[in-house]
A and B are shown apart, each in its own frame.
Chain A
């Protein structure tokens, strides 16, 4: 996901840069203001309606299924409660099995925190805010056993960057035993 987003962004920015480059190069020659305005109007219309159509498609693709959907009871999820306090995480179930949906229930005892779920290579897998008085829930199903980390993603004061928790994901078979 991250690499795709990066390269799509770079490509989109490069297109805008290329258009600016072409227009800036054109300023050494003369063109009729009237004809330029007419062409600009046409381009504007294409871009406007194209953006709306593209946006509608993007909306459908990215919102179905609902990105924050949680597993149902039939999926037999395990709920892991994560509570943030300046500056540590309390994780009620630090060892969990691969292969079963995990619902992380995130809250805080003091200020706003943010749980970022990271894999062993420090790649962000999912996240939610931890707020005092509220519990945000997100789900993740681990496919690989190993050590995963919870990094704080909402600035919470002096030791914000030291707020790192750990969970161990065991293989499904090991857990069944």
Chain B
């Protein structure tokens, strides 16, 4: 078993990926700001443009979370398993070609079916965008999916070579027999991500292809409910996997500050195996209002929606808190952002779990509550972890402690993020629908406040990006204990 770190390939790839991801995050946050300002009536956009921005914001954020997540995961996995640098660059190239096609479809050809491309909307635009726009968008999406697939296949192969089997890489000998010398947490998490994403990408690619054919040959179609199941299975697994990839940064970096290693224990192995299984079976919680679904699937969605929050809270969150408690760390921006990321994940799943109760979902589904909770565990969770990783990666060229402007902008980002999610959740509780280009006057006071918070979040993100760019050639932070 190759438990020791090997001579790792260059980290230029992850550095470039993180730079691109950071840039796109800021750009897409500006799109989000524009949409909130438009809903607030402060900067009204034509619905055509609003829904294009909404589509770009959604697919862009999901794709970029995956892109950045791969950057974090690959950076650490390459230290334990012989991943292929050429495949990583092929992933980057294919991903970027896909992005170009997606952007062209949206902003040059008017495609605006939302990131979920819910069948059969891409083919039935009501005369707003053409069949060509749909084909270009879906082809771009397919290329992005293929990029992830080859990356995961290479990573899976490298893990197999290094650890001799996926079960071993998931620490099953430790889980089931209490065996020693398990793989590091990064490998356990990366293996789980590789398995679930590879599985999810298959129906994802299938429904994309079906939608392309349906667009070109409208007589060829499939059942709308089956299509919805395929899309939400793929989408749910993929977006959750982005968080699982980013959390690898927490497992690897935080111990360097606290001096307390993050070990693969039996509980840890159990949590990741449970997560692996649950993340693939929980997606019917997106379909609670598709009442014709077999009732057992909806019950399963509610049960697993609740249970899948437990590993997050009981293992990773407590693991981080135990690592930090009384550890006399010297706080800097990377550690603060990584800690914020785990907080955002842990706190953000709570309103998601509550929305995962069918009776609650009846009056919260597709209201602003939904973007409220997913911005919590993405903007303040996954993306905060990504900023933390980026600033750790290039940290030697930056100040060592969390003070001055860094401190101010960190809290500006936190305040902005919390304000965005709080106003979205309040709007959801007031029954405001999501994905509406125009809001009624009685909803706009909250939108105005939300827009203000969005400005703060963008400012914080811009600062993190600029610091990353300024320190691009720097080395990872070597944390020291506080004096």
A and B, one complex? Answer: yes
User: Which residue numbers of A lie inside 8 Å of B, CB to CB?
Assistant: 1-3, 5-6, 8-9, 12-13, 16-17, 19-20, 23-24, 26-33, 36-37, 39-40, 43-44, 47-48, 51-52, 55, 58-59, 62-63, 66-68, 86-87, 110-112, 114, 116, 118, 122-129, 131-138, 151-162
Interface string of B397-437 (1 = CB under 8 A from A): 00000000000000000000000000001100111010111
- Contact for B289 among A30, A86, A136, CB less than 8 A: A136
**CA separation between A30 and B359, bound complex, in Å?**
47
- Contact for B306 among A40, A59, A66, A125, CB less than 8 A: A59
CB of B219 within 8 Å of the partner chain: no
The residues of A that contact B435 with a CB separation of less than 8 Å are 155, 160
The residues of B that contact A156 with a CB separation of less than 8 Å are 121
Interface string of B265-302 (1 = CB under 8 A from A): 00100000000000000000000011110010011001
CB of A71 to closest CB in B, whole Å: 14
Enumerate the 5 nearest inter-chain pairs by beta-carbon distance, A residue then B residue, closest first.
A31-B326, A40-B322, A124-B431, A6-B429, A161-B436
Given A110-B124, A136-B292, A157-B128, does the pair A51, B440 have CB atoms closer than 8 Å? no
- Contact for A87 among B126, B310, B313, B314, CB less than 8 A: B126
Given A59-B306, A155-B114, A157-B128, does the pair A67, B437 have CB atoms closer than 8 Å? no
- Whether B112 contacts A8 by the Cβ 8 Å rule is no
**CA separation between A51 and B308, bound complex, in Å?**
11
Interface string of B334-348 (1 = CB under 8 A from A): 000001000100110
The residues of B that contact A19 with a CB separation of less than 8 Å are 321
The stretch from B99-107, B174-182, B221-229 touching chain A is: B221-229
- Whether A127 contacts B343 by the Cβ 8 Å rule is no
- Whether A28 contacts B482 by the Cβ 8 Å rule is yes
- Whether A30 contacts B118 by the Cβ 8 Å rule is no
- Contact for B431 among A2, A9, A155, CB less than 8 A: A2
Given A59-B303, A122-B440, A132-B224, does the pair A158, B354 have CB atoms closer than 8 Å? no
- Whether B433 contacts A67 by the Cβ 8 Å rule is no
- Contact for A111 among B112, B120, B318, CB less than 8 A: B120
CB of A22 to closest CB in B, whole Å: 9
CB of B366 within 8 Å of the partner chain: yes
- Whether B359 contacts A62 by the Cβ 8 Å rule is yes
**CA separation between A45 and B240, bound complex, in Å?**
25
CB of B5 within 8 Å of the partner chain: no
- Contact for B126 among A123, A128, A158, CB less than 8 A: A158
- Whether B325 contacts A114 by the Cβ 8 Å rule is no
6 further A-B pairs in the complex, CB-CB below 8 A; given A63-B358, A157-B124: A2-B430, A33-B259, A47-B313, A55-B306, A154-B366, A155-B114
Interface of A is mostly: mixed
- Whether A66 contacts B295 by the Cβ 8 Å rule is yes
Given A5-B364, A26-B326, does the pair A48, B310 have CB atoms closer than 8 Å? yes
- Whether B366 contacts A126 by the Cβ 8 Å rule is no
Given A55-B306, A160-B436, does the pair A23, B363 have CB atoms closer than 8 Å? no
- Whether B363 contacts A13 by the Cβ 8 Å rule is no
Given A13-B350, A116-B433, A123-B431, does the pair A58, B306 have CB atoms closer than 8 Å? yes
Given A27-B327, A40-B321, does the pair A157, B260 have CB atoms closer than 8 Å? no
**CA separation between A161 and B295, bound complex, in Å?**
30
CB of A138 to closest CB in B, whole Å: 6
- Contact for B290 among A3, A23, A48, A136, CB less than 8 A: A136
User: Which residue numbers of B lie inside 8 Å of A, CB to CB?
Assistant: 47-48, 51, 112-114, 118, 120-121, 124-126, 128, 223-225, 228, 259-260, 267, 289-292, 295, 298-299, 302-303, 306-307, 310, 313-315, 317-319, 321-322, 324-329, 331, 339, 343, 346-347, 350-351, 354, 357-360, 362-367, 425-426, 429-431, 433, 435-438, 440, 442, 482
- Whether B360 contacts A5 by the Cβ 8 Å rule is yes
- Whether B360 contacts A31 by the Cβ 8 Å rule is no
- Contact for B433 among A24, A66, A151, CB less than 8 A: A151
- Whether A153 contacts B366 by the Cβ 8 Å rule is yes
Given A20-B339, A23-B321, A114-B366, does the pair A63, B302 have CB atoms closer than 8 Å? yes
CB of A57 to closest CB in B, whole Å: 11
- Whether A111 contacts B433 by the Cβ 8 Å rule is no
Beta-carbon nearest neighbor of A151 in chain B: B433
Beta-carbon nearest neighbor of B299 in chain A: A63
**CA separation between A138 and B318, bound complex, in Å?**
41
CB of A117 to closest CB in B, whole Å: 10
Beta-carbon nearest neighbor of A31 in chain B: B326
- Whether A16 contacts B363 by the Cβ 8 Å rule is no
The residues of B that contact A152 with a CB separation of less than 8 Å are 433
The residues of B that contact A48 with a CB separation of less than 8 Å are 310, 314
Among B291, B313, B314, B329, max chain A CB count under 10 A is at B291
- Whether B291 contacts A128 by the Cβ 8 Å rule is yes
The residues of B that contact A63 with a CB separation of less than 8 Å are 299, 302, 358
**CA separation between A55 and B224, bound complex, in Å?**
33
**CA separation between A166 and B95, bound complex, in Å?**
46
